Amino acid sequence: MPYDPSAFPPFAVTVDLVVLTVRRHALCALAVRRGEAPFQGRWALPGGFVRADEDLAQAAARELAEETGLRVHDPAVPAQDNGAHLEQLATYGDPERDPRMRVVSVAHLALAPDLPAPRAGGDASNARWAPVEELLQQGGYGRDGEPVAPLAFDHAQILSDGVERARSKIEYSSLATAFCPPEFTVGELRRVYEAVWGVALDPRNFHRKVTGTPGFLVPTGGTTTRQGGRPAQLFRAGGATLLNPPMLRPEV
């Protein structure tokens, strides 16, 4: 039986990106300003159409590179921290989510260290890192006193889902190291957890926990004082991806 094109409705398929990083003690996401209708001028998550010959992960990696210049970390080279972490998040397909047409968006979650300045086609004013709480608050006013407009489309929901994924995933995996530069201290890693979870952690217990989990951290031998205070040992991410037992997010 030949294939019948009238048997199904055509869809547009896009990838949207929740790109998270930690800047100045706050969990931040990459937002781009929309240049066209609908939601013209509003902030949105970066994304774009999946091309005809492209896998979903490829499309997400391409969009990530276009927006940030980040390459995706290659799991085949675990010792070498050569880029960001990227994983599929969820898919959003409400018939009304885009007023123009039927669009199904496969959202991806990317975690990156705080290095690159955003660039949306070279125009810095159209892309920025913003604290997720600022992007997610409905109404009210931002840090600069300007009124805050909600994110375009259903992107507030997508961002919220991505943040929740990141929050829960650093509990039982070593993913928090994806927010760190290739070499980092225990204190820097702790500040990642504190920023993502929005809590304060006991430095002594945290130190005991992460240095005591086999395969989580590998000492490089070096030390640094870039955080001030007593010099701290430098570590790389170890081979372990699953933490057992997990880091427990404090209650309340």
Site of interaction with its own copies (CB under 8 A): 1, 3, 7-14, 36-37, 49-56, 88, 90-95, 100-102, 104, 106, 244, 251
Residue number, 11 or 141, with CB nearest to its own copies: 11
Pairwise CA distance, residues 214 & 37, whole Å: 51
Residue number, 99 or 231, with CB nearest to DNA: 231
186 interacts with, out of its own copies, DNA, none, CB within 5 to 8 A per kind = DNA
Residue number, 87 or 183, with CB nearest to its own copies: 87
CB of 39 to DNA, least distance (A): 40
Backbone angles phi, psi at 238, to 5 degrees: -80, 180
CB of 114 to its own copies, least distance (A): 29
49 interacts with, out of DNA, its own copies, none, CB within 5 to 8 A per kind = its own copies
51 interacts with, out of its own copies, DNA, none, CB within 5 to 8 A per kind = its own copies
CB of 191 to DNA, least distance (A): 8
221 interacts with, out of its own copies, DNA, none, CB within 5 to 8 A per kind = none
Pairwise CA distance, residues 157 & 143, whole Å: 22
Pairwise CA distance, residues 113 & 85, whole Å: 10
Give yes or no for a contact between 127 and 120, defined as CB atoms under 8 angstroms apart: yes
The DSSP code sequence of 195-219 is HHHTS---HHHHHHHHHHSTTTEEE
CB of 41 to its own copies, least distance (A): 14
Pairwise CA distance, residues 10 & 102, whole Å: 8
CB of 109 to DNA, least distance (A): 25
Pairwise CA distance, residues 72 & 154, whole Å: 25
Both tokens of 9, joined, read 């409705």
> Which chain residues interact with DNA by CB under 7 A?
185-188, 190, 202-205, 207-209, 211-212, 225, 227-233, 245, 248, 250
Centre a 10 Å sphere on the Cβ of residue 113 and count the other Cβ atoms it contains. Answer: 20
CB of 83 to DNA, least distance (A): 25
Residue number, 7 or 76, with CB nearest to its own copies: 7
204 interacts with, out of DNA, its own copies, none, CB within 5 to 8 A per kind = DNA
Give yes or no for a contact between 78 and 239, defined as CB atoms under 8 angstroms apart: yes
CB of 141 to its own copies, least distance (A): 31
Backbone angles phi, psi at 69, to 5 degrees: 80, 0
Cα distances from 59 to residues 3, 17, 47, 161, 210, in angstroms, run 27, 10, 9, 20, 35
78 interacts with, out of DNA, its own copies, none, CB within 5 to 8 A per kind = none
Residue number, 94 or 202, with CB nearest to its own copies: 94
